[in-house]
Amino acid sequence: MPIPHRVLVRGVPASFAAALTGLPLAAPLDPARAQRQHAGYVAALAELGLEVLAVPTDEACPDCCFVEDTAVVAAGLALVTRPGAPSRRPEVAAIAAVLARHLPVVTMDAPATLDGGDCLRLGATIYVGRSARTNEAGIAALAAAFGPHGLAVVPVPMPAGVLHLKTVCSPLADDCMLLAEGTIAPATFVGVRIISVPPGEAHAANVLAVGTHCLVPHDAPETAERVTRAGWTVHAIDTSELRRADGALTCPSILF
């Protein structure tokens, strides 16, 4: 993976209490707690030397902190998505405006839908989850954007009930990834070294690697140990309130 220099983020709005959740919650979401955790996440990325591009938060978009879903950046190009959840579509304009200061930007039209959380790049391949959020036209738009830049797009059927492809896996390097045991068949990812994540820590299959550093959930000691043994410097991060809204560690950032 090219080592990124910048990270695009967007603060957690007070309206986060109304963010989408796959399952009903026993207690309401706590925006203040999510804001504190998000600030810690951004600080950790800044300490790694990344330039932070902060898009102003939008109270009209409760999920706007989950910027990953709004754009796919690869090969020096940004594809701004049409998110699968209609409530999230107003998020993209502000993201596109900031990305356009740095990269050529292309967009996709209805009926295409695609969430960046479904896109996993490993070397010259982008694996894309065929999920409830990402449809065939979205996958075709992804291939049309990045195919001419030498990237192959490989659709991956998703297990029932899994929000995004990267809910159960994440890249560590061009040829190495984390994958939650018992989810997607490891053979799906050809020529890739897979570090498996035990069922008790399935939420930690989504980590954020930046070069030789890796942000790992604070409550996943076995995964942290496996990632450390594989050669990464692990930084334990608590984003548990964002996780209650189905957001894992890759979700609040776009690295490029």
- Contact between 183 and 194 under an 8 Å Cβ cutoff? The reply is no
Give the CA angle between residues 177, 3, 253 to the nearest 5°: 75
Judged by CB under 6 A, the stretch of 43-51, 53-61, 137-145, 246-254 that binds ligand CIR is 246-254
Determine the residue with CB nearest ligand CIR. Answer: 117
Burial class of 173 by CB neighbour count within 10 A (0 to 12, 13 to 18, 19+): middle
Of 142 and 248, nearer to ligand CIR (C-beta) is 248
Residues 6+ positions from 230 with CB-CB distance below 8 Å:
172, 176, 195
Of 28 and 150, nearer to ligand CIR (C-beta) is 28
Cβ neighbours, 10 Å, residue 206: 25
233-237 sheet: strands from edge to edge: 208-210, 213-217, 233-237
Does 117 sit near ligand CIR (CB under 6 A)? Answer: yes
Q: Would residue 203 show up in a list of annotated catalytic residues for this protein?
A: no
The helix/strand/coil state of 229 is: helix
Selected binder of ligand CIR within 17, 44, 48, 85 (CB under 6 A): 85
Of 217 and 247, nearer to ligand CIR (C-beta) is 247
Does 19 sit near ligand CIR (CB under 6 A)? Answer: yes
Of 201 and 246, nearer to ligand CIR (C-beta) is 246
Instruction: Give the C-alpha separation, 112 to 133, whole Å.
Output: 10
The helix/strand/coil state of 20 is: coil
Q: Site for ligand CIR (CB under 6 A): how many residues?
A: 15
Minimum CB distance to ligand CIR, residue 87 (Å): 8
Name the active-site residue from 61, 65, 164, 176.
164
Of 41 and 66, nearer to ligand CIR (C-beta) is 66
Minimum CB distance to ligand CIR, residue 249 (Å): 9
Instruction: Give the C-alpha separation, 113 to 108, whole Å.
Output: 8
The helix/strand/coil state of 206 is: coil
Which two structure tokens, joined as six digits, stand for 161? 């009930």
Instruction: Give the C-alpha separation, 126 to 134, whole Å.
Output: 14
Instruction: List the interface residues with ligand CIR, window 139-178 (CB under 6 A).
Output: 164
Name the active-site residue from 119, 176, 214, 251.
251
Selected binder of ligand CIR within 8, 71, 153, 248 (CB under 6 A): 248
- Contact between 113 and 134 under an 8 Å Cβ cutoff? The reply is yes
Q: Would residue 164 show up in a list of annotated catalytic residues for this protein?
A: yes
Q: Which residues would be at the binding site for ligand CIR (CB under 6 A)?
A: 19-20, 63, 66, 68-69, 85, 88, 117, 164, 245-248, 251
Catalytic residue numbers, as ranges: 164, 251
